[in-house]
Amino acid sequence: MDKKIQEVLVEKIRESTSAKDEIISLVNSLEPEDAPNNLFVYGIIIGRLYNSFYYQSRRILKRDPTQQEFSEFIKLLEEHKNELSKITS
């Protein structure tokens, strides 16, 4: 993964964890009553991060991300899993 994109994504992870109250408010207003615990929260977080990954790839590299870069994105998410799980606790 391009170093600039990785830096942007790590920053987005930090932003997501600092926006906990914002995300929880959004979840509380939109989450279906019968949704499994935290599923909707993770959907919002992953959506934000994937959007950043895709957008930054297009902006910085001037192309869509490759399968290899997507695999690296997944690995980055796994590396920050504990940090991201703090949002739902």
Q: Is the pLDDT of residue 82 over 70?
A: yes
Q: How confident is the model at residue 7 (pLDDT cuts 50, 70, 90)?
A: very high
Q: How far is CA 17 from CA 31, 32, 36, in A?
A: 19, 23, 21
Higher pLDDT, 25 or 76: 76
- Angstrom distance (rounded) from CA 16 to CA 36: 21
How many domains in the chain? 1
| Domain limits for position 14 | 3-88
Nearest to 10 by CA among 89, 86, 64, 77: 77
Question: What pTM was computed for the model?
Answer: 0.67
The model's pLDDT over 22-61, given as tens digits with 9 standing for 90+, comes to: 777 766 665 666 666 677 777 888 888 889 998 999 999 9
Tokens of 8: 């942007």
Between the two ends of the chain, the Cα-to-Cα distance in Å is 30
